A and B are shown apart, each in its own frame.
Chain A
C-alpha cells in the first residue's frame, strides 16, 4: 500500500561521524520534507524539496544536507557539524496540486554519543 518509509527506525552513531537517514515514498508526491522533533516539542523544518533536483533550507538547516535525485527519495545527511544531532527525524511528502495535507513517515530516532 502507498506510504512513506523511513529507515532505519533506530540509529546509533558516534560523535564526529556523518549519518544518512533514508526516506522513500510511493505516493507520487512532488514535494518532500524533513522535520526534526525534540522531546516534548513540536516539529521544526530542516529542508524541503518541491521538485526533483531542487531543495531549500528550512528553519534549522545548519549541519544537515539533502539530495533529491529521484522523485521517490529524499535522503537526509546529519553531518558532524550538527551540534545536537540526537533527535527524532520525520520525513513527509505532499501533493501541491491538490493542496493536500502532508503525510508523514514513522520517523528515525537518531542517538549520537
Chain B
C-alpha cells in the first residue's frame, strides 16, 4: 500500500548549523502531516504539524514545508543543538479515519560539536 518514506536514514550535522530532514509521501488523499521526535527509550514527542491547505508552518526553531505537487515534506531545524539528537519521524493522516497515522521509517539526527 501507499506509505510515507524518508530519503536519508542518518543525518550528521554540526552544532549551530541548520538541519533539513526530508520525507516523501505517496498518498494524495493525505490531509494532515506531523513531525515527531523520538529519543532513545521514549515515546514520540510532537514537534510540528501542517494541514494540506498550507505549504509552510513555523514553530520555535522549526519549520515544516509541504510540497503537494511532488508529495514532499521537510522539517528544518535552525541552529541545531546537541539536544536535537534523536530519531525524527514524519507521519501522515491518510484521511480515511482521523488519528490513523502512517509513519515513515525515521531519520537519525546526530549533532556533532
Contact = CB atoms under 8 A, between A and B. Distances in A.
7 contacts: A31-B99, A40-B105, A43-B101, A94-B99, A105-B43, A107-B42, A109-B41
Please classify the interface of chain A as helix (H, G, I), strand (E, B), loop, or mixed, using the class held by over half of its residues. strand
A106 B41 CA distance: 7
B44 interface: yes
B43 A106 contact: yes
Interface stretch (A60-68, A69-77, A96-104): A96-104
Interface of B: 4, 32, 34, 36, 41-46, 49, 89, 91, 97-101, 103-106
Contact of A50 (B34, B44, B99): B99
Contacts of B34: 101-102
Interface residues of A, number: 28
Nearest to A95: B99
A22 to B, nearest CB: 14
Contacts of B89: 42-43
A58 B34 CA distance: 19
Interface of A: 4, 6, 31, 33, 35, 40-45, 48, 50, 56, 58, 90, 92, 94, 96, 99, 101-107, 109
B89 to A, nearest CB: 6
